A = this chain, B = another copy of it.
């Protein structure tokens, strides 16, 4: 593995200047009180929040642009430009809605990362306790080698080590399971947004072909726009294709089905794909989302 050429090493020089600068706030400072173990993920979860906000902004601005485009088209007093710009506005609104849905899905992915962060934070005291007892033993051995307290401490250390072994097993079990779940969801959301926006953009291009841009000479009157019916049909087709959309993902296979509530393996292990898990957080297919909200509201209203 060429670690020197991985993203890890490049960050030191490349990303230093790209690192986003956010103002300090109470919630930023709070990060400093995080357990050492969960600090990195804590920061990542915070950065992901900024990323999600950017997609929400993009979606909102897209909706605003769509309605401004339609308004502008109307003001041109050109029937053809008016109709086509209005319908492109519908397509653009829907593209904006898909950005927003994507942001919602990223929020779900983010909450899975939080589960790993929480386990990390809870495992930290177990590590600290082990180190603390070891340190005490070392000090006492040096200062007072025959102290009867040493026996008690050695017994405590054995217990702390056993407790930590459990904690570390829980940590690795949950980490691997949740990393797979989180990025399963993330990549599924990326694909969903992409596939739906391709559908929309494709029909947007068809609308453009209905606008005749043959130049006219001064005094010429443009032919009345005769493609209104066709344009309406394009939107109806777009809506139908968007409604018919469903995910076709290569499943992510998981063996974490054998993980008990105690975060230890259960006896009955079974292989399954996380994509099929009915757990709403793990499910990368947002079937729970109201269909009207997720798919084609703008198209539906425009073609009703």
State the A residues within 8 Å of B (CB): 1-3, 5-8, 10-11, 15, 18-20, 40-41, 43-44, 47-48, 50-51, 54-55, 57-58, 60-72, 74-76, 78, 80-81, 83-90, 93, 95, 162, 165-166, 168-169, 172-173, 175-177, 179-180, 183-184, 186-188, 190-191, 193-195, 197-198, 200-202, 204-206, 208-209, 211-220, 222, 228, 231-232, 249-250, 252-256, 258-260, 263-265, 269, 298, 301-304
CA distance A43 to B70 in the complex (A): 13
7 examples of A-B residue contacts, CB within 8 angstroms: A8-B89, A20-B64, A173-B216, A183-B204, A190-B197, A194-B194, A215-B255
**9 additional A-B residue pairs with CB within 8 Å, beyond A8-B67, A51-B65, A177-B213:** A1-B232, A20-B57, A20-B60, A81-B176, A190-B197, A191-B198, A191-B202, A213-B254, A213-B255
Complex contacts, A175 vs chain B, CB 8 Å:
76, 78, 81
**Does the CB pair B5–A302 fall under 8 Å?**
yes
Q: How far is the CB of A150 from chain B (nearest CB, A)?
A: 25
Number of copies: 2
Contact A15 B165, beta carbon cutoff 8 Å: no
Which of A66, A179, A217 is packed against the most chain B CB atoms within 10 Å? Answer: A179
Q: Give the CA-CA distance A183 to B207 in the complex, in Å.
A: 10
- B89 touching A7, Cβ below 8 Å: yes
- A57 / chain B contacts, CB cutoff of 8 Å: 20, 50-51, 54, 57
Q: Which residues of B contact A214 (CB under 8 A)?
A: 255-256, 258, 265, 269
Docked CA distance A83–B3 (Å): 9
Q: Closest 10 interchain pairs by CB?
A: A194-B194, A11-B67, A51-B61, A214-B255, A54-B58, A176-B213, A187-B201, A215-B265, A165-B218, A7-B89
Contact A83 B190 (CB under 8 A): no
Contact B190 A95 (CB under 8 A): yes
B264 contacts A217, CB within 8 Å? yes
Contact yes or no, B212 A176, CB < 8 A: yes
Given A75-B40, A76-B175, A219-B165; A6-B54 close (CB under 8 Å): no
Task: Give CA–CA (A265, B218) in the complex, Å.
Answer: 10
